[in-house]
Amino acid sequence: MVDEIRQLFTEPAFLVGLGILAVVTGVIVAKKMTDKPSRTVIFSLLLYIYVYVMFSRIVGAPTLDQWRSTIESGGNIFSPVFNFELLAYGFTRGYVLNIFMFIPVGMMVPCICRRYEKVIPAVLFALGLSLFIECFQMFTGYRATDVDDLVTNTLGGIIGYCLYRLGDLMKLFKKRGKKRKGEDICNQIPVFAVVIAFVCVFFG
DSSP string, 98-167: HHHHHHHHHHHHHHH-SGGGSHHHHHHHHHHHHHHHHHHGGGTSS--EEHHHHHHHHHHHHHHHHHHHHH
Measured between alpha carbons, how far is residue 164 from residues 80, 89, 198 in Å?
A: 35, 32, 25
**Inter-CA distances, 156 with 81, 96, 106, Å:** 23, 9, 7
Residue 1: the pLDDT is 61
pLDDT at site 2? 65
SS3 for 87?
coil
pLDDT of residue 140: 84
Q: What is the DSSP letter of 35?
A: S
Which H or E run includes 82? Answer: strand 82-83
3-state secondary structure (DSSP) of residue 197: helix
Q: What share of the chain is helix, strand, coil (3-state, %, to 5)?
A: 70, 0, 30
pTM listed for this prediction: 0.93
Residue 189 makes CB contacts below 8 A (sequence gap 6+) with: 24, 25, 28, 40, 44, 112, 113
pLDDT of residue 48: 98
Domain boundaries in the chain? 2-203
CA atoms within 13 A on the CB side of 4: 8
Cβ–Cβ < 8 Å for 102, 130: yes
Task: Tell me which amino acid residue 202 is.
Answer: F
Instruction: Using 70 as the pLDDT threshold, list the residues of the chain that sit under it.
Output: 1-2
pLDDT of residue 161: 97
